[in-house]
Amino acid sequence: MNTDARPPFRSSSVMQVLGVAAVYFAAAKLGLTMAFVAEQVTAVWPPTGIALAAVLLLGTGIWPGIALGAFVANVTSHANVAAAGIATGNTLEALVGAWLLRQVGFAPSLTRLRDALALIVLAAGVSTVVSATIGVTSLCLAGVQPCGAFASLWSVWWFGDAMGDLVMAPLLLVWATHPRVAWVPRQLAEATMLIAVLLAVSAAAFARAGTTVATGYPFQHYTLFPVVIWAALRFGQRATVTATFIAAGIAIWSTVHGVGPFAMATVNESLVALQVFMAVVAVTALLLSAAITERKALERDLRRQTEVLADADRRKDEFLAMLAHELRNPLAPLRNALDLLRRGEPAVVARARELMHRQLEHLVRLVDDLLDVSRITSGKILVRREPLPLASIVATAVEISRPLLDANAHELHVTLPPEPVLLDADPTRLPQALANLLNNAAKYTPRGGHVWLTAEHGRDGLVLRVRDSGIGMTPEALGRAFDLFSQAGRTLDSAESGLGIGLTLVRRLVEQHGGTVSARSEGPGRGTEITVRLPVLQVARAGPARGTEDAETSAVAATTPIAPTSAIPITAEVAGGRTMTDAPPPPALRRVLIVDDNVDAAESVAMLLQTANHDVRVAHDGLAALSIAREFAPDVVLLDIGLPRMDGYAVARALRAEPSLNGVRLIALSGYGQDDDRRRSQEAGFDHHLVKPVEPAALETLIAAT
């Protein structure tokens, strides 16, 4: 947190200043109790770390607290004349240290190796020169200390300040910036063990009388390193700086009392020797923990990137499989219709041409969508905006979506503002975006559902909402609803699967119109609402806007379901299936049940098989297929995999479980053709798995062999 811009003497800031001054003064008096080379100079000076952390965390406006605490501490230590100079040096030291660290992008959490290096070099190594130089110079000029002792006093002063930056500053910075972690019982047990081992090792290394440098080189204090490494490896920077602080406190107390491996002839020499060792420990701990933490962060990032890439690869595979399925669906009836045209039977030629026209338009829309995504994502699509009435835009969108809405017998409810509204919109692209939303609602809403299109004035412009009574979305699906090739509820029983690019197109087009789009759903089975917000060019208060009547007419027309067009005469209808016959029918060769939710695909195959003199019936969902099969007792079932209400695998298993249908030949006729699809077909009980579009002659040969 940086509060440099805050007024330094606001009421809250005054409390912070006084608090820092009090803490600085207490730490300074503690440090001066170990001033053995001179009354004002000590090798143990924690206030340096406190001051640096205060400036980094609270901002430069905290400097009066540092100056006040330093001044009072020195005035009460027989340095009255030099107190102001020493306080100035201490304050400038913290400000210079913080400034240097900020120049290199220092992060107080010390989770990066560069931050630990910056603290060691710039703060502990460089900024402490300021305080040592100004402080010792002030003592010498005031006559408090002899000028001849300048070098020895300066080195002890500098070393004490450097240790404050290496031990005290990291402790405060890390504990202030690291988020709290909820440890599990196993971690708590390990942390307790770490503290116990740290206290035991520190006591054995520093608080036990024994071998010293005066009687022989001691080694027991090196046992501290494994504990510090343990803390760094298992608990990160917070545990590491805490372990260093605890060990330093025990070591200083022991050395001042003349015990431990660093006890020498004088206490000052002992403290300097100890601080050299603790500096090595602190530097090692900081660098090691930062390196480990940074590596763990990089590993987490790598795992996240790997997961993202794996998800993208999975979505790419799903998209390719879905693309193949979506392309095969119109290709199958096209191939069948071509074969019917070659046979030249007048009764079916006209229907075949209509079928080919519909499927060709479907293919063109698929290709257009793919090209639009490519153009928009690469920034190559141009939006030519002009003033357009909202009613006209809605009318065009409804007209585009009406076939799909009617095919699913949905009711469309349109509500527009009473006054005409003008938008700055592309006459092609914005209706396309709105139509995509309506198409999505139609696709993912069970037959006979409701779709609402409402427009109202919002705080920042026009708010368009497309809501449906469909399958809804999970929170995970909502999070990636507008991602390319992402689909909510992609299942085999989806009657309309799509390519997962519709909402991506919507978002790009809306953004190019200066708007935003968002999705909301209360969960699976509870519908979805897409909200589009667009800037308004003008709201007219009087007079009808061009296209209003068209929008109302289109909205009303969309509420009236259109009966599906049959490719051949229908003589009976049973539970969603149709019995198709020619008049007069010649003797039938095989009884064939065709199950496909694509009406054109089912009826084109039916026409082909009827011309070959087979008795054919058609169903467009799994439950209807089971009902017809029990009554019709087919010899062959041509079964699509992706069906509404009950997918093809489930239908196949149910047919195999029917005793009366023992011996029926099940042929999967699907746009899904991957190895996994074929394996699942075999497991479900299919005899054959054919991938659309199927050569009509091959299909007839397979049926005739039954």
**Domains of the chain by residue range:** 1-179, 307-375, 385-558, 570-704
Distance CA 152, CA 303 (A): 53
Query: Above 70 in pLDDT, residue 13?
Result: yes
- At 255 the three-state DSSP class reads helix
Phi then psi for 457, rounded to 5 degrees? Answer: -80, 130
Distance CA 111, CA 416 (A): 55
pLDDT of residue 635: 93
CATH superfamily of 570-704: Response regulator (3.40.50.2300)
Distance CA 433, CA 414 (A): 16
Sheet-wide strand order for 538-539: 386-389, 421-425, 538-539
The CATH class of 307-375 is mainly alpha
pLDDT of residue 381: 64
State CA 294 to chain mean position distance.
21
Distance CA 171, CA 168 (A): 5
The two structure tokens encoding residue 176: 């202030």
Residue 453's nearest CA partner among 466, 444, 469 is 466
Architecture of domain 1-179: Orthogonal Bundle (1.10)
**What mean pLDDT is predicted for residues 668-676?**
81
pLDDT of residue 498: 53
Architecture of domain 385-558: 2-Layer Sandwich (3.30)
Distance CA 548, CA 556 (A): 13
Question: Could you report the per-residue pLDDT of 277-335, keeping only the tens digit for each?
Answer: 999 999 999 999 999 999 988 999 999 999 888 887 877 776 676 677 667 777 777 87
Question: Could you report the per-residue pLDDT of 590-644, keeping only the tens digit for each?
Answer: 899 999 988 888 888 888 888 888 999 999 888 999 999 999 999 999 999 888 8
Torsion of CA 637, 642, 647, 648, to 10 degrees: 30
Distance CA 89, CA 74 (A): 12
- At 690 the three-state DSSP class reads strand
Counting Cβ atoms within 10 Å, is residue 573 exposed (0-12), middle (13-18) or buried (19+)? exposed
Question: Could you report the per-residue pLDDT of 261-272, keeping only the tens digit for each?
Answer: 888 888 888 899
- Is the distance from CB of 635 to CB of 664 less than 8 angstroms? yes
pLDDT of residue 379: 62
Reported as a pLDDT band with limits 50, 70 and 90, residue 488 is low
Query: Fold identical between 1-179 and 385-558?
Result: no
Counting Cβ atoms within 10 Å, is residue 217 exposed (0-12), middle (13-18) or buried (19+)? exposed
- Stated pTM of the model: 0.55
